[in-house]
Every structure is written in structure tokens, then in C-alpha cells.
Structure 1
Amino acid sequence: MDYIEFFKNDRFATEAGITLSEVRPGYAKAKLKINEHHLNAGNVVQGGALFTLADLTIAAAANANGRLAFSIQSDIRFLESATIGETLIAEAQEILLHKTICHYKANITTENGRLIAVCDGICYRK
């Protein structure tokens, strides 16, 4: 299955401007160019935009193992602010894969490698 094409059906992430660039079992990479509509009242990227970027990346990595997987718990830590014009890159890596549960860690960085956020996600595999 082409998971990049499959996740274009994630309408919320697609409308937010997130694009997947690489997906394989246990790993995914996506990017988001920060525009004005991604900013909060303090003129930095809104936490929900960061979470959506991490969430989609984790979902792609989990589903690429060949079984439908849904998030059941996520935890995100916002470490730095990002601003308009920056492109953010999320990479999700598998930490644990069991029959029904899997765990991933996603790092969100700027293109020059500055760490913006870290997200852990646990998914249920159907």
C-alpha cells in the first residue's frame, strides 16, 4: 500500500499543509511550512499545529506495519517556538511493536536541526 497516498485522505492534516515525504514500517517523515494561519496570538506556531504534525507522522509510521492503527495516548512537549516562514520536519521512529500495541517517538525540528517539540504516541493495532 502507498501510505503517502493513503494519508492524503487525512483531511485535517492535509488542509493544515502537512506533507509526508517518507513512510516505511516503523518510520515516517513529514514537513510543514509555517504560514500566518499556523500562528497563535503570540505570533508563534500554535501548539495544535505542532501536535497535528507529530500525530500524522506517528500514524503513518504505525500504519505502515500493515495493520490499521489508531492513537490511544499521546504526550507532547513544546521545547522551542517556531515562527512564520520556518519549515518544520517531524520524524517518527518506532520504539515498541507488539501484536496490539505500538509506541513511537516523534521529534519536530527546524530545517537546521533546532529541536522544537518531542511527542510520544501509543497506538492500538486492530
Structure 2
Amino acid sequence: MEKAEKIARYMREHDRVAVWLGVEVLEVRPGYARMAMTVREDMLNAAGVCQGGVTFSLADFAFAVAANSHGRLALAVSAQIYYPAAARLGERLVAEAREVHRTEKTGLYEVSVSKEDGTLVAFFTGQVVRRPQEFNPG
């Protein structure tokens, strides 16, 4: 199995938020990750739409997998998100994370979260610091 896929599987099994969200790993390669989840009733806010923190968590997990996919431990130092549309109960969301720039010490990533019809629900950017140690899944 490819290293990036092994890292993604380990992260999915050991990240308790990703487990709670029911995140599915769809595709992973170095610097890239695509994930999906379906909005459940316990993910809705008082307005009846998907709570922003849930959407952020999906984007953040895709970001983390893309950043760690090279096999070096990468930890977030900043992130921001924009919500152009709401997600509703039962909608499937797909998060696609792409590496924009990577150096020995840092990495910059962007993540789009969309509904299956292509409607953009969130646009996320994040930066990581890359540690010298390897990311060694168990």
C-alpha cells in the first residue's frame, strides 16, 4: 500500500472527530486528499443547517491528511474558512485538499468543501509547520 494511503487510513482510524463525523477517505496521494461525509441531524445548528464547526472539521481533517501524506509530521499553525452556502440534513459533502506550497519547514494548503451538485459550501486555507520526525502510523 502506498505510504500516503497508509497514513490516511491510520489518521482516519485514530482521529476521534473524523470517526464521529463518519468521514470517508476517497482519495489520497502526496499533497492531496479527498474526503466525504453526510450531514446528520446531530450536526445541525439552531437554524437547521449544518453547524459551521462540523464543516470546518471536515475541511481540517482533509487538510491534515494532505499535509501529512508525505510522511513527515505536519501540525497546523493557522487556518481560516469562508462559508458561501449552507449544507442541510442528508447532504453529502466532499472536501478536496490541495497542497499550494511546501518547504522543508512549512506547507500551505487550500480545501474546498462542496455538495455533490458542485455547490461550494466552504473554502478553507491552512498552514502547517513540518517537523523533522517522520509520521509513522502504527
What's the TM-score, normalizing by structure 2?
0.89
Alignment correspondent of 2:102: 97
Runs of 4+ in 1 over 2 A off after TM superposition: none
Q: Percent identity?
A: 37
- The amino acid across from 2:17 in the alignment is F
- The amino acid across from 2:106 in the alignment is I
Alignment correspondent of 1:64: 69
Per the TM alignment, residue 20 of structure 1 is displaced from its structure 2 partner at its CA by 1.6
Per the TM alignment, residue 45 of structure 1 is displaced from its structure 2 partner at its CA by 0.3
Alignment correspondent of 1:5: 9
Structure 1 residues 18-57: aligned runs within 5 Å: 18-57=23-62
Instruction: Calculate the aligned-residue CA RMSD, in Å.
Output: 0.8
Q: Distance in 1 between matches of 2:117 and 2:63?
A: 22
1:4–1:21: 8 Å Cα contact kept in structure 2?
Answer: no
Larger radius of gyration: 2
- The amino acid across from 2:9 in the alignment is E
1:3–1:23: 8 Å Cα contact kept in structure 2?
Answer: no
Q: Unaligned stretches of 5+ in structure 2?
A: 132-138
- The amino acid across from 1:5 in the alignment is R
Q: Distance in 1 between matches of 2:34 and 2:18?
A: 14
- The amino acid across from 2:110 in the alignment is K
Q: Unaligned stretches of 5+ in structure 1?
A: none
